[in-house]
Structure 1
Amino acid sequence: MELSLRFFVTAPKGIESLLADELRVLGALDVSETRAGVSFQGTLETAYRVCLWSRLASRVLMPLAEFPAADADALYAATREIPWEEHLRPGGTLAVDASVRRSQIHHSRFAALRVKDAVVDRFRDRFDQRPSVDLERPAIRINLHIDRDQATLSLDLSGDSLHRRGYRAEGVLAPLKENLAAAVLLRAGWPQLAARGGALVDPLCGSGTLVIEAALMAGDCAPGLTRPYWGFSGWLQHRAGLWEGLLDEARQRREAGLQRLPVMVGYDRERQAIRASLENADKAGLRQHLHFERCELSDFQAVPGTSDCPGLLVSNPPYGERLGEVKELRSLYELLGQKLREYFGGWQASILTGNPDLAKHIGVRAQKLYTLYNGALECRLLNFDIAEERFFGADAPQAPLSEGARMFANRLRKNYKQLKRWLQKEDVTCFRLYDADMPEYAVAVDVYEDRVHVQEYQAPPSIDSRQAERRLREAMRVLPEVLEVQPEAISLKVRRKQKGSSQYQRFDRTGERFEVREGNCWFLVNLTDYLDTGLFLDHRPTRFMLQAMAEGKRFLNLFAYTGTATVHAVKGGAATSVTVDMSRTYLEWAQANLRLNQLAGPQHRFIVADVLQYLEREKEHYDLIFLDPPTFSTSKSMETTLDIQRDHVSLIRLAANLLSPDGVLIFSNNFRKFRMDFASLPELEIEDITAATIPRDFARNPRIHNCWRITRR
């Protein structure tokens, strides 16, 4: 049986969930996302396959050692103890890359130099021969990462960033990295469209990266097949036969895949861009399969041969850095929108832009919105269905707003005005703005920084469904203008009473989580895939209370959801933490939240379990416990159902049994009719602290939850 190893794959920020899915398809096990990367368990063959086939990865690292490195001497000593002779010949070549964060070693170049010295000195002392440095194509490339004085040394199996496929011969202004282009295409659903025979066109193709990456996907071509150099080529443990077998398989798949490519076309106004595209396509072995042509956007029309196979229009248009450029580019985006509406009805479109305000001028409402990063620049990917009902602006005149819609807009403005000073003073960036203040407009509106989450409460049978739909459309029309956000930055869900495990069921499968800040903590939220977003806004004061109480404490988080309370407790100095939930999906999310805040460690454990069963068998004691159960819950993994009113006495008692002598239990739930049974819990001191835990943005609805402080008498 082949040895299973741990690997870490780096990638551009914003595509971690896509990369995790890709790695699973490639055979990776125990896949775990973190910021700008994903770790996984697998064999060397799995790692080779990732190097060859990953369209999203930047580097594939194989950790060799982890150790404390509080200073340069400790780094040197620990590095020298590693048996480098198992990886490199004495006369071989090496290079060292280093990154340093929050460490007493401040300079990455100095850290890399100390690692190089340690490796060289070990060889010189043992073999009287030393390896030399080759920064371009070394036999092995060593990667050093130091965070909080903890060092990880890895072999870089990729050798060079995997986005460098080997086909780019000549760049043009602001070229798009190949793995970011692949992420755009995956988010656009290109593999599914290509499988159905859909065409692809980029009217502003630059050096052709999007078109070429689309062809590699549609043609089942391994993106690494044209790369001239790999980091494992000179590694002593490299298994050349295994690698050649994977290359042969990839060549066969490519040969078969290229026989069924759909129509793919790139246009650009610049002759230099078209020359670069043709040369890049030639180096990728795709020139005979792709068409590139000089064409002004004003002359751009329907693509010949695609009338029976609508597909994807994808582009990364310029977005401008100076005010004058932005003004000039408005006409470009307007013209692009005009062409979409005129010639591409029934198609999909995906536009990547570093200036989302320009996208308003396209005149089509996006269906999906994603955050991607082009280097350090935060960009938006907007996905469109080109259909008349999505058009707005000059092509889609709208009726005047009703009196009710104007009142709704005024209420939004009034609420925000009342909250504005408090939001600034308390540094709150995610908040509830509106909660069915007007019964006719029965929605909850939550702001998550530059995005909005709208929940429509299910209308009672007495309300005419057509009238309810009209009011919802009006509300969705008003929100972008009042809140000054893009329409596609607003996510809409219908909120119904939840039973059993339905809170865990998916609404969508975008997989997109983005970062938001809550005071000194950061969280990943998802506005589309589940009923809830990953962050209960009404519990904001409760989380800060836990943070203030947590220093030096043993913390237990029950029914933990995405672990936001755990993050606050650990941020507040909790010595240890245990986070328990029956959903593996949410616990993985909780772990990602902890890693996002750079707080992960072996002292912080995550347990997938039915909380009732866990409490019955747990023997450890805790100084601080947070218990926030659902009103009602059941699942395949639970032996019984949970009804919070019926079961709260036994649940509280089980949790209180785990308290240390001076421990505190914070118990909360959102059952509006909840009544605490004090008489059945005489051994406990129970204080109602609900009023102190209702934030100002929920003051209009103070029954959103109840909260209790519980200690032993």
Structure 2
Amino acid sequence: MSDAFRLFVTCPRGLEPLLAAELLALGATESKERSGGVAAVGPRELAYRACLWSRLASRVLLPLANFPLEDADGLYAGARGVDWTDLFSPDSTFSIAVAGHSPAVTHTHFAGLKVKDAIADVFRDKFGRRPDVNTDEPDIRIHVHLDRAEANLSLDLSGESLHRRGYRGATGEAPLKENLACAILLRAGWPEIAARGGALIDPMCGSGTFLIEGAWMAADIAPSLMRHRFGFEAWLDHVPALWQELKRDAQSRRDLGLKKLPPLIGRDLDARVLNFARKNALNAGLGHSIEWQAGDLLETRPVGDVPGLVVTNPPYGERMAAEGEVIKLYSLMGATLKSHFPGWRAAVLTSRPDLGPRIGLRADAIHSFFNGDLPVKLLQFGIAEAPVPEIGVPAAPAGGGEFANRLAKNRKHLGKWARRTGVSCYRVYDADLPDYALAVDVYEAAETHLHVQEYAAPKSVDPVKAEKRLREALAHLQASYEVPASRLHFKQRAIQRGASQYEKQGDQLRVFEVDEQGCKLLVNLDDYMDTGLFLDHRLMRLRLRKEAQGKRVLNLFCYTGAASVQAALGGARQTVSVDLSNTYLHWAGRNLSLNGFESDQRDRDPRPASGPWRGKARSASAQQDVHLLVRADCMAWLRDAAGDASDRYDLIFCDPPTFSNSKKLDDVFDVERDHPELIRSCASLLAPGGVLYFSTNRRKFKLDPAAIEGLRCEDITPQTLDEDFKRPPPAHRAWRITR
């Protein structure tokens, strides 16, 4: 064979320009970008160097034949025309990989069988025997590419894909491929930063790919030096002496390079994933070269005297919960970079380029890549130098001074009130300033948590300014309360329709126990828009507790049963809690159990085949049913219960949703339209001297006079709003109604 080799070197989509430049640096005399790879020409040494030194390649292919493809027989004939006996021995094993597509041969497995048959026949003709097929660890790999009306046959000189360096063990979520990580580091200018002594930091490092590949780059370590097998080793034209010389040179360069590594820091909140990273680094010969830190993104700080590079691939998918958590992550990441990394470079790989503005830095370069089949963008930022603060004055988040002042004022006042009254969960801020449209709730569990909801901005508000204000507010909240991002729970609250305010936002499954005046309740701050505890109804629940002694209490639209638990603690003879959601009834049962009460859940089919409930429901007045949980459509349940004159209640609490079109309902519920029937039905279930408390969170709600005709009705809204909800307009409206 001629010593001028034509190669086709494959790579992930988007890496072709970088790979073409890399091959020229490795000794190619020509390199031309193609879709999915680079066509290169160079000496034999180029093939070996590409296998050993390419940080970007997936495979190094030596083209053997190219021919028109009309049918399967044509594929066999084309493969039969290659003298395979010049390439490998009949004692070697081989495998065939088929890629691409063609209308002439639609099944890749069948195409592989045709090529295998052709190779076997060539060997039989010459030696009377054929080499064996080994699909797991073959000596020789043949690559077949079907390109519509053409077929290309190549010898795979690399063997297993070159992105598999040999150091990676177990990982968490699907990790970034090593060659894509290298492309990102190259685009971000890491080799130049490392040469100046700048550090590399990944604040969400996962299994450590950026750090390990970045260390190998900085130390001049050949990425395939650890591999034990290459596809060219059983190739009959292989020159072992040349290969061994190249390996010895790479080993010498590695030994020198490891002595001059810059600082390398990997951080992650997930200790399990961080352990994978440590093991991978140890396997890569970098056991003491990278510092691994378990910690929050927001606690990441620069190291060294020379500005370095912050590079990260923020988690998406399983490691993130709701959309709000992703938004919070990007906003706080931007605030951290801006406050603590002046003069540094930052590179963020994201599948959500729409979240780029949340970072709050202007990208000076954007590159497109593919992470597998997923299109991703690399956003690069130069972080401006910040003014030097006075000695002894801690750096504060930039901007948002008005919000910070109002937060500090509210926190001081409401903090004192909460400690004095024993309130552990309260609202500290609720859109007090029009430019910062957030609701911020403090939950004191074993640790302090902040639950932050962003109200949807009207279309008249500049979205760029809204993003900036959100970023400022989140940064000030995190700094003021000194909570890590994992305890700052962020959500976006838009105008809801149907049951959307109750739909799951994520699957974090983190439940916390909080205390409300001696009542233990469970809250989930991540997975639902609401947390399981409506803070604005605190005083109403305490009112029910004071009035419940010896009484039968009905809690309609009970949600997670907090009002029922307070009534039970007040000595209620019985509580009946009705809701359509099995999830929330189960939650209510857990809340009752947490406070030492047993409950009994009854499921009534919320959508009977016809007419009223199938079969007469067991009366809720049965004495053994001290705390009964009923799964039912409240309106239908009320109609059914109205027919039982013996089933009456001393206290009824009714706090319906403003609107619901749940698929479990036979009809849409609208509190404005349906409250007259709802109130009259509740009033019909009152025992002599009984009281109905009706409440709604609907803004601009007007009580229909027909709803209270013949009833005594008192607006008690001011008496049900605690100190943290005394802001106009009121968080809810409430009435005390008697017969």
Tell me if the contact between 2:62 and 2:157 (Cα under 8 Å) persists in the aligned partners: yes
Tell me if the contact between 1:139 and 1:231 (Cα under 8 Å) persists in the aligned partners: yes
Partner of 2:60: 60
Partner of 1:671: none
TM-score (norm 2): 0.52
What code does the residue aligned with 1:296 have?
A: D
Partner of 1:459: none
Pair 1:348 & 2:355 matched: no
CA distance, structure 2, for counterparts of residue 242 and residue 99 of structure 1: 31
What code does the residue aligned with 1:249 have?
A: D
CA distance, structure 1, for counterparts of residue 347 and residue 111 of structure 2: 42
Tell me if the contact between 1:347 and 1:385 (Cα under 8 Å) persists in the aligned partners: yes
Runs of 4+ in 1 over 3 A off after TM superposition: 319-324, 394-398, 478-482
Tell me if the contact between 1:319 and 1:326 (Cα under 8 Å) persists in the aligned partners: no
Aligned-residue offset at 1:173:
0.4
Partner of 1:301: 300
Partner of 1:92: 92
Q: Deviations over 1:163-220 (max 9, x none)?
A: 0011111211020000000000000000000000000100000000000000010000
CA distance, structure 1, for counterparts of residue 123 and residue 286 of structure 2: 46
CA distance, structure 2, for counterparts of residue 322 and residue 296 of structure 1: 14
Q: Deviations over 1:514-537 (max 9, x none)?
A: xxxxxxxxxxxxxxxxxxxxxxxx
Partner of 2:308: 311
Distance 1:212 1:85, change over 3 A: same
Pair 1:331 & 2:328 matched: yes
Q: State the SS of the aligned residue for 1:232.
A: helix
Pairing partner for 1:382 from 379, 383, 401: 379
Tell me if the contact between 2:67 and 2:150 (Cα under 8 Å) persists in the aligned partners: yes
Gaps of 5+ in 2: 388-396, 402-460, 468-739
Partner of 1:220: 220
Distance 1:372 1:139, change over 3 A: same
CA distance, structure 2, for counterparts of residue 204 and residue 75 of structure 1: 48
Q: State the SS of the aligned residue for 1:288.
A: coil
CA distance, structure 2, for counterparts of residue 259 and residue 30 of structure 1: 35
Pair 1:44 & 2:44 matched: yes
What code does the residue aligned with 1:161 have?
A: S
CA distance, structure 2, for counterparts of residue 366 and residue 479 of structure 1: 20
Aligned-residue offset at 1:138:
1.0
Aligned-residue offset at 1:54:
0.5
Tell me if the contact between 1:103 and 1:147 (Cα under 8 Å) persists in the aligned partners: no
Distance 1:43 1:346, change over 3 A: same
CA distance, structure 1, for counterparts of residue 300 and residue 128 of structure 2: 69
Q: State the SS of the aligned residue for 1:341.
A: helix
Tell me if the contact between 1:100 and 1:107 (Cα under 8 Å) persists in the aligned partners: no
Q: State the SS of the aligned residue for 2:41.
A: strand
Tell me if the contact between 1:62 and 1:156 (Cα under 8 Å) persists in the aligned partners: yes
Partner of 2:509: none
What code does the residue aligned with 1:275 have?
A: N
Q: State the SS of the aligned residue for 2:158.
A: coil
Q: Deviations over 1:113-152 (max 9, x none)?
A: 1101110122123212111111122111000112132111
Aligned-residue offset at 1:3:
1.2
Gaps of 5+ in 1: 399-477, 485-713
CA distance, structure 1, for counterparts of residue 285 and residue 378 of structure 2: 29
Q: State the SS of the aligned residue for 2:6.
A: strand
Q: State the SS of the aligned residue for 2:47.
A: helix
Equivalent pairs counted in the alignment come to 398
CA distance, structure 1, for counterparts of residue 320 and residue 168 of structure 2: 32
Pairing partner for 1:370 from 352, 367, 370: 367
CA distance, structure 2, for counterparts of residue 230 and residue 194 of structure 1: 30
CA distance, structure 1, for counterparts of residue 297 and residue 246 of structure 2: 42
Distance 1:103 1:5, change over 3 A: farther
List aligned pairs for 1:114-193, cutoff 5 A: 114-193=114-193
Q: Deviations over 1:50-104 (max 9, x none)?
A: 1100000110000011111211111112211211111111122001011233431
Q: Deviations over 1:303-359 (max 9, x none)?
A: 4x42x1210000000234899632221111122112111211111000000011222
Partner of 2:356: 359
Tell me if the contact between 2:320 and 2:326 (Cα under 8 Å) persists in the aligned partners: no
Partner of 2:732: none
Tell me if the contact between 1:319 and 1:355 (Cα under 8 Å) persists in the aligned partners: no
Aligned-residue offset at 1:257:
1.1
List aligned pairs for 1:405-420, cutoff 5 A: none
What code does the residue aligned with 2:300 have?
A: Q
Partner of 1:20: 20
Tell me if the contact between 1:100 and 1:106 (Cα under 8 Å) persists in the aligned partners: no
Q: State the SS of the aligned residue for 1:155.
A: strand
Partner of 1:496: none
Q: State the SS of the aligned residue for 1:287.
A: coil
CA distance, structure 2, for counterparts of residue 244 and residue 165 of structure 1: 19
Structure with greater Cα Rg: 2
Q: State the SS of the aligned residue for 1:382.
A: strand
Q: State the SS of the aligned residue for 1:7.
A: strand
Q: Deviations over 1:9-40 (max 9, x none)?
A: 11110111111111111111221101111001
Tell me if the contact between 2:339 and 2:398 (Cα under 8 Å) persists in the aligned partners: no
Distance 1:480 1:7, change over 3 A: farther
- % identity of equivalent residues: 49
CA distance, structure 1, for counterparts of residue 176 and residue 318 of structure 2: 17
Pair 1:108 & 2:108 matched: yes
What code does the residue aligned with 1:114 have?
A: K
CA distance, structure 2, for counterparts of residue 29 and residue 150 of structure 1: 27
What code does the residue aligned with 1:8 have?
A: F
Q: State the SS of the aligned residue for 1:233.
A: helix
Partner of 1:259: 259
Aligned-residue offset at 1:2:
6.5
Partner of 1:30: 30
CA distance, structure 1, for counterparts of residue 259 and residue 31 of structure 2: 34
Aligned-residue offset at 1:296:
2.1
Q: CA RMSD in A?
A: 2.4
Tell me if the contact between 1:198 and 1:312 (Cα under 8 Å) persists in the aligned partners: yes
CA distance, structure 2, for counterparts of residue 199 and residue 57 of structure 1: 26
Partner of 2:199: 199
What code does the residue aligned with 1:377 have?
A: L
Q: State the SS of the aligned residue for 1:201.
A: strand
CA distance, structure 2, for counterparts of residue 198 and residue 282 of structure 1: 23
Q: State the SS of the aligned residue for 1:74.
A: helix
CA distance, structure 1, for counterparts of residue 192 and residue 91 of structure 2: 50
Tell me if the contact between 1:320 and 1:329 (Cα under 8 Å) persists in the aligned partners: no
Aligned-residue offset at 1:396:
5.4
Q: State the SS of the aligned residue for 1:221.
A: coil
CA distance, structure 1, for counterparts of residue 222 and residue 199 of structure 2: 21
CA distance, structure 2, for counterparts of residue 110 and residue 309 of structure 1: 58
Q: State the SS of the aligned residue for 2:241.
A: helix
What code does the residue aligned with 1:380 have?
A: K
Distance 1:74 1:20, change over 3 A: same
Aligned-residue offset at 1:154:
0.3
What code does the residue aligned with 1:301 have?
A: T
What code does the residue aligned with 2:201 have?
A: V
CA distance, structure 2, for counterparts of residue 192 and residue 199 of structure 1: 11
